[in-house]
Structures are given as structure tokens and as C-alpha cells.
Amino acid sequence: MHAQDSMVMRVTRRDFIATTAMCGLGALTYSPPINAHTQPSVAVIGCGQRGLRHVDTLRRFARGQVVRSLLVCDMNPEALSRAQAISGAKGTRDWERAVEDPAVDALVIATPAACHAPMVLAALDRGKHVFCEAPLALDVRTAATMAQAASMGSMVVGACGLEMFFHLQPLATLARQGVLGDLRWGHAYAQQDEFAKAADPQTARGQIVAATFKGLLPHMMILGGASPDRVSTLGMVSAGIPGLPDKFSAEISLASGLTLMLQCGGHLPTELFPVLRGTRASLELRSHRSLLHHNDGHIERLYLGSPALVPGADPTTHTLAAWLTLVDRPALREPCCKALFAAQLIACQTVESFQANALLI
């Protein structure tokens, strides 16, 4: 294929807002940190390294009147004291107390992976919005239970990578409008270099599921979620924990007829990009621009601008800004949550497929 500059399509920030408005998403405008009207009261559960980043970000959001108030929670008194020193917020060592507090509207969960599911489910049961570090769940049954619980209410469930939802909506529109034709094949990549360093099977499983979730998320956001008919995984155990792969490939057959190939492992080439291929064109996903490869040979460059919602901010700020935007805009919640839980469910299925059927080399 040869790129033809005459076929370049630029999507400016103004075009992006116009496109999302046509999709029923409304104008997505931001003034640092973000424009929010609900001003939720937020509790952060887990104040380790990741949790402290969330605490610091939410502290700045509170100064900008995006967040009304902040509560911090950690069983470790030293971690709790550090979080309180950074934020000046009230604190508690009891996570259930934070979840049940009627003054708390939303929760950010940054605890070890094994704690994620019960905390998310408790938050949903009490009608709280929740953001949780990946993975949301470690197994298929729990992931399905969480998806069902989230579908029963109007709460937002967010996770790492959430900021891509807004950035990818123009591409989702292209797919829905049939620009790609019938989607037949896709390729996803999940970079993870820490499998062999995990100290225990549960930590290793969490790392693998989290990496796989992140690798699948762009496709699920464009597809609006997906239901797999079959997941087959072949992997390799060399230096890691027996029963869990250091690297693997998965073939995911979706009910729509799309086959998605997933490659997961450490040190993947940086020039690999997610792809969706249809009967009319193929879409190559990149961070600031994507390529639309038409079957007649020409290529359109789709300049979508930065996926950052808050210019100049760090990734944690972008992610929480996206989550708070969904809290503030109910119409956007369902498609985003569908994509998140579809990616989470398939991620768990890939690991369980490996453990059940794969050859250990």
C-alpha cells in the first residue's frame, strides 16, 4: 500500500467535538483539570504507590472544585498518614466504613488485585461510582458477576485506560457507519515485562490479566463491547510461575464473526500497533494518529490529536479526569462500561484457557 497525501484526513479538536456530538456524546470540552458539575465526594481505598498518585490528583481536583471532598483509607497506619499529609483529608483504616459512608459518592480502589472484586461489588451494591486499578477481576466467574452488578444500576465503573474512550469514539463511529465494512480480523498486543518477577501466583495472575485487559481495551471501545464464542490460548512457561505463561497468543472468536488475535508478553517490538480489518478497509490504531488502509490501496491518516483530556497532565490525571467526566455525564456511561467489562471478561478467559488447554513448554 502507498500513502497518498491527497487522501489525508485531519480530525482537529473541534472536529472531534463535532463528531462526538453527532454520536450523541455531546461537546467534550475541558478546562484544567476538567469541567464537572456533580462535584462528587471521593474516597481512595489503598494508599500505596498507586493510591498516593490518585490522592494527589484528587487533591488538585478538589482545589479546582471538581471534587467536593476527599477521604483516604488504608489498613497500614503509615500509608494512611502519608496520604493524609499529602491531601489534608480525613482518614480511616476500615474500607467498609468508607464504602458505607453516606457522604461518599464515589470510590477509587488501589489495593492489591485480590481485593478489587469484593470492594467493587460492595461499592456497586451501595450505589457508588467506582474506579479500580486493573485488573477488575481475576477469573471469569467474578468478572461476569461484576458486569451483571454494574448493568443493574447507573453507576460508573472505571479502570486504567479509561481515557482512551473519548479519543477512540470517532473511530468507533467510522466502524458503526460501515467504513471498514464487515469486521473480520483484528490484532491486539499486551506488553508486560514483569511476569517472571512476581513473587506469588496470585500477583502474577493479576499482572497477566491486567496486561491482557489493557491490550484488548482499544478494540472493545471501538466495537462497543463484544461477546466471545471461543477463546483458545497457547503460551509458554520458562522463567515464571508454573501454570502461568510468561508469554502467550490467544485466538478470540467473537459472536459478530470477528476473530481477534492477541499477543501478550515482554519486550514486544515497539512498532506493533493494534489493527482492525474489515471487508472494505483496515484500521491501524496509534496514539496520536491512526491509519485507515482502504482496499483500493490508498491510506488516510486520521489525526485525532492527543488522547490526553487535560493538556500537559500526567496519565493518572487523564484517567481520573475521564472517570469524573463519566460521573458527570450519564449518557456516556453504558457504552464505556460495556467495553471495560468485555475486555475484562475476555482477559480472564484467555488465562483460564491457557491453564485448561495450553501446552506448557
Range from 156-165, 194-203, 302-311 that averages highest in pLDDT? 156-165
Q: What is the mean pLDDT of residues 150-168?
A: 86
Q: Is residue 127 within 8 Å of residue 133, measured between CB atoms? A: no
Q: Which CATH architecture has domain 29-158?
A: 3-Layer(aba) Sandwich (3.40)
- Who's near 208: CB < 8 A, 6+ residues apart? 192, 195, 244, 245, 264, 351
pLDDT per position as a tens digit, 120-154: 999 999 999 999 999 999 999 999 999 999 988 87
Q: Is residue 289 within 8 Å of residue 295, measured between CB atoms? A: no
**61/65 Cα distance (integer angstroms):** 6
pLDDT per position as a tens digit, 171-187: 999 999 999 999 999 99
User: How much is the pLDDT for 75?
Assistant: 96
Instruction: Give the global pTM.
Output: 0.85
CATH among 3.30.360.10, 3.90.700.10, 3.40.50.300, 3.40.50.1370 for 5-9+162-308+332-357 = 3.30.360.10
pLDDT at position 23 over 60: no
**Both ends of the chain: CA-CA distance in Å?**
38
Whats the size of the chain, residue-wise? 361
**231/75 Cα distance (integer angstroms):** 38
Per-residue burial over 123-157, b if 16 or more Cβ lie within 10 Å, else e, is bbeeebbbbbbbbbbbbbebbeebbebbeeeebbb
Listed by start position, the domains of the chain span 5-9+162-308+332-357, 29-158
pLDDT at position 35 over 70: no
With 0-12 / 13-18 / 19 or more C-beta atoms within 10 angstroms meaning exposed / middle / buried, residue 295 is middle
* Strands lying side by side in the sheet with 183-191: 9-10, 299-303, 289-294, 281-284, 275-278, 183-191, 259-265, 247-254, 228-236
C-alpha pair distances (Å), 92 with each of 63, 101, 106, 228: 22, 11, 16, 41
